[in-house]
Amino acid sequence: MFAARCEDAALLDLWHPVAAIPDVRERGPVSTQLLGQMLVVSGQEGEEISIKEFMAPMVHGQVFNQGREVSLPVREAFGFVWTSLGAPPERLFDIPEFHETDRWSENSGSFRVHTSAGRTVENFLDLAHFPFVHEGYLGEQPYTEVKDYSVTFDDREIWATGCEFYQPIAAVSATDGQVTKYTYRLAHPFCPLLYKTSPVDPKRFDVIGIFVQPMTEVRACAHQFLSLLDETNDDATIKRFQAIIFGQDKPILENQVPKRLPLGSRAETPITADKTSIQYRRWLTELGISYGVIRDNTQRDSEPCSEIF
């Protein structure tokens, strides 16, 4: 299985999540892909975590003998292992809530999805799909209106503030429908987070994020991150809720065509509710990214159609 190698300096130099720490510690080594390169993340309990890049194709996890190994930088943050294929910066964004001791902070699964990292991020940033894709959970028809919200960009992060949505079951801790206030934060080109009113304490926020690993141009792994105020529900119940939401998104996401995210202003027709996506696509354009995106309006992907309905 060969995949196009990424030539974008902006992506090669980023820190990327490649595995959840418990997956490496308890069930490792983890074989995965980053920007088309084969990686193995290893390090059992008591050992340092190490990441090796194999400069040869692997077939079913077996590396060809002539493969050359390169050690990559390792960083542990928010319960995940991060690495970089280029010259990564000193700094990785922070999530202050992660350090608060009364929260339930954990990974709720690394789910692979057959689409680009960009499409995966945009799905996470979208409010408008809630009543259609997550009906009965994150939205309910006919409450489909996306109220106006503000988007700001400071060259490092995108913030969307003042978002509101009616939700029948905003989280597993919810006992009733509520108008949920959302703030979206893109802390990294592939790490969207959202802050939403906690059903337990309306003055504080639950933080949910996905750290998206671009495996190839059209395959991504969404590492789910949760930092919740919830003292009543057990791990399995909280994770079940997240698995349902992700399971509902998956067929919709995998059937978006083209799989690579189109950046051309006329490639797709955004509406007001897509303000965050518009800013996101502009950001990717400014970063000079061409991997996993379609920069030019005239480029077309030829993807086979599939049948899910």
Partner 1 sequence: MVTLYDYELSVNCYKVRLLLNFLSISHQLHPIDFFPGWEHKSEWFKEVNPLGHIPVIDDDGYVLRDANAILIYLATKHDTLNSWYPVEQPSLLGETAQWMMFAEGTTNTASAARLHDSLGYEFDIDACRAGAHRLFRTLDEHLWFQEQRNLNWVCSAEAPTLADLVLFPDVILSEEGGVNRVSYPAIRRWTDRFRRLPRFTLMAGVLEAGILT
Contact (CB, 8 A) for 213 and 117? yes
Beta carbon nearer to partner 1, 13 or 234 = 234
Beta carbon nearer to partner 1, 29 or 292 = 29
- CA–CA distances in Å: residue 202 to residues 164, 237, 243: 14, 21, 25
Alpha carbons 277 and 188: distance in angstroms, whole number: 14
Beta carbon nearer to partner 1, 103 or 239 = 239
**Buried b / exposed e along 228-252 (16+ C-beta atoms within 10 A):** bbbeebeeeebbebbeebbebbbee
Least CB distance to partner 1 at residue 266 (A): 30
Contact (CB, 8 A) for 199 and 95? no
Least CB distance to partner 1 at residue 259 (A): 13
- What is the three-class DSSP state of 147? coil
Of 244, 20, 240, which is closest to residue 137 (Cα–Cα)? 244
Least CB distance to partner 1 at residue 171 (A): 15
* Cα within 13 Å of Cα(309), Cβ side: 3
Neighbouring C-beta atoms of residue 307, cutoff 10 Å: 5
The site for partner 1 (CB under 8 A) is made up of 20, 22-23, 26-27, 30-32, 60-61, 107-114, 221, 235-237, 239-240, 243-248, 250-251, 254, 304-309
Beta carbon nearer to partner 1, 89 or 304 = 304
Alpha carbons 183 and 291: distance in angstroms, whole number: 28
Contact (CB, 8 A) for 286 and 293? no
Beta carbon nearer to partner 1, 187 or 221 = 221
Give me the phi and psi of 104, to 5 degrees please: -95, 105
Beta carbon nearer to partner 1, 132 or 162 = 132
Alpha carbons 45 and 262: distance in angstroms, whole number: 42
Beta carbon nearer to partner 1, 174 or 278 = 174
* Chain position carrying tokens 């945009």: 122
Least CB distance to partner 1 at residue 194 (A): 19
Least CB distance to partner 1 at residue 135 (A): 10
Alpha carbons 169 and 124: distance in angstroms, whole number: 17
Least CB distance to partner 1 at residue 307 (A): 5
Least CB distance to partner 1 at residue 55 (A): 21
**Strands 158-167 and 178-186, sheet pairing:** antiparallel
Beta carbon nearer to partner 1, 135 or 201 = 135
Least CB distance to partner 1 at residue 246 (A): 7
